[in-house]
Amino acid sequence: MACDQYSCALTGPVVDIVTGHARLSDIWAKTPPITRKAAQLYTLWVTFQVLLYTSLPDFCHKFLPGYVGGIQEGAVTPAGVVNKYQINGLQAWLLTHLLWFANAHLLSWFSPTIIFDNWIPLLWCANILGYAVSTFAMVKGYFFPTSARDCKFTGNFFYNYMMGIEFNPRIGKWFDFKLFFNGRPGIVAWTLINLSFAAKQRELHSHVTNAMVLVNVLQAIYVIDFFWNETWYLKTIDICHDHFGWYLGWGDCVWLPYLYTLQGLYLVYHPVQLSTPHAVGVLLLGLVGYYIFRVANHQKDLFRRTDGRCLIWGRKPKVIECSYTSADGQRHHSKLLVSGFWGVARHFNYVGDLMGSLAYCLACGGGHLLPYFYIIYMAILLTHRCLRDEHRCASKYGRDWERYTAAVPYRLLPGIF
């Protein structure tokens, strides 16, 4: 509403309400409602992504060297299940964007500004899907779970709804809720939303600013990286440890596409053109952040895949051998990496992510607070995630984790935190 009615000034509605120029109900009354067009568009969008996910086995891994797609295995769940996944996110992203560009340059079926033009009506649709999928996941967890032994019931209804009951809810053999909802429709949409914002900026101001180009390019790198490494994503906290509830279901449908794209939306209302040094600085910060994020994640992945038989920064990695007991009472062995970025701080991958996030925000200049939402949110998310993960690792590995924290004393920033 701040963007739609106050050109992205967060203080605008507050000042109006405090000074009596508007009531909350006036602002609410001006909010665009859900429309038939938005509902049709959204249904078409989600159906298209479901079809790409379920009906088109991956062919990208057959011709893209280094890309790992097709049928892949996830991590062992606490109950000892190993799920198989059809990794075809890169293909879905490529086909969707091919269609988008074909439409923009040849077919002209719809305007490239279509997402911006229906932004708030689509928000209602995304909410309906977000709540529907979270509620369905809850009911499914109680009545027909995919793997009953991996369900978690806490006794608190709201906690169960928010954090989820089922670990890997599925419909049929292949439709995995976590993989589908996290990657598509939210992350595939991310780059399309940004392209639509760029098209709208050009329509309104007759050019696309360098800030808009930077936001589009830096976020596209992050999105493509996600799909290129979708197999690696199977080993992240979202898939390996979190249950599927409102936190992931609603978050993927609404939070991610609507709040991760605020910089592009802001730039439609404020066509910031950066000076060359400012633009180069933002680009460098974004690229260095991305480099740290990618290399740190790759180091851990390589280390775990090869069971430590690899080189990190050209040397044999330092290792802490550790063991833990799973829910079924079995004893397992694992290894913690103490070299590379994992020897600099225990979650230096998050630092790279934060640098990239800051770059998107800095691309919007210093006029308003709203585009800085992303870095504030990511700092909270990743600090909380870091503490949550460390708590889990400490109870999983016990003394072995203490040896790791003694060897690498800082969580995020050496000497600070």
Of the residues 146, 209, 297, 339, which one makes contact with ligand NDP according to CB under 6 A = 297
227 scored as a contact of ligand NDP (CB under 6 A): no
Scanning the structure block, which residue is given the tokens 């009531």? Answer: 23
337 scored as a contact of ligand NDP (CB under 6 A): yes
Please state the closest distance from residue 312 (CB atom) to ligand NDP, in A. Answer: 11
Scanning the structure block, which residue is given the tokens 């044999």? Answer: 316
Please state the closest distance from residue 336 (CB atom) to ligand NDP, in A. Answer: 4
Question: H-helix or E-strand containing 14?
Answer: helix 11-18
Among 76-84, 110-118, 349-357, 358-366, which window interacts with ligand NDP (CB under 6 A)?
Answer: 349-357
Of the residues 170, 300, 368, 411, which one makes contact with ligand NDP according to CB under 6 A = 300
How many residues bind ligand NDP, per CB under 6 A? Answer: 18
144 CB-side CA count, 13 A: 4
- The first and second tokens of residue 66, run together, are 């280094």
How many helices and strands, by DSSP H and E, does the chain display?
22, 6
Residues 288 and 156 sit within 8 Å (Cβ to Cβ):
no
Residues 319 and 338 sit within 8 Å (Cβ to Cβ):
yes
Alpha-carbon distance of 254 to 288, in angstroms, equals 29
Instruction: Report DSSP letters for 107-148, one per residue.
Output: I-SS-TTHHHHTHHHHHHHHHHHHHHHHHHHHHHHHHS-S-G
For residues 187 to 226, the per-residue mask of contacts with ligand NDP, x marking binding by CB under 6 A and - elsewhere, is ----------------------------------------
385 scored as a contact of ligand NDP (CB under 6 A): yes
393 scored as a contact of ligand NDP (CB under 6 A): yes
Please state the closest distance from residue 314 (CB atom) to ligand NDP, in A. Answer: 18
Closest to ligand NDP by CB, 149 or 388: 388
Q: Quote the DSSP letter at residue 182.
A: I
Which phi and psi (to 5°) does residue 58 adopt?
-60, 130
350 scored as a contact of ligand NDP (CB under 6 A): yes
Q: Of the candidates 253, 119, 116, which has an alpha carbon nearest to the alpha carbon of residue 196?
A: 116
Q: Of the candidates 299, 380, 377, which has an alpha carbon nearest to the alpha carbon of residue 342?
A: 299
Of the residues 117, 389, 394, 413, which one makes contact with ligand NDP according to CB under 6 A = 389
Q: Of the candidates 110, 95, 126, which has an alpha carbon nearest to the alpha carbon of residue 261?
A: 126
Residues 412 and 387 sit within 8 Å (Cβ to Cβ):
no
Among 84-92, 142-150, 292-300, 365-373, which window interacts with ligand NDP (CB under 6 A)?
Answer: 292-300
Mark 323-336 as b/e (b = at least 16 C-beta within 10 Å). Answer: ebeeeeeeeeeeeb
Residue nearest to ligand NDP (CB): 236
Of the residues 72, 273, 334, 405, which one makes contact with ligand NDP according to CB under 6 A = 334
Among 51-59, 282-290, 293-301, 305-313, which window interacts with ligand NDP (CB under 6 A)?
Answer: 293-301
Please state the closest distance from residue 70 (CB atom) to ligand NDP, in A. Answer: 22
Closest to ligand NDP by CB, 91 or 299: 299
353 scored as a contact of ligand NDP (CB under 6 A): yes
236 scored as a contact of ligand NDP (CB under 6 A): yes
Summarize as ranges the residues that interact with ligand NDP (CB under 6 A).
236-237, 293, 297, 300, 334, 336-337, 342, 347, 349-350, 353, 382, 385, 389, 393, 396
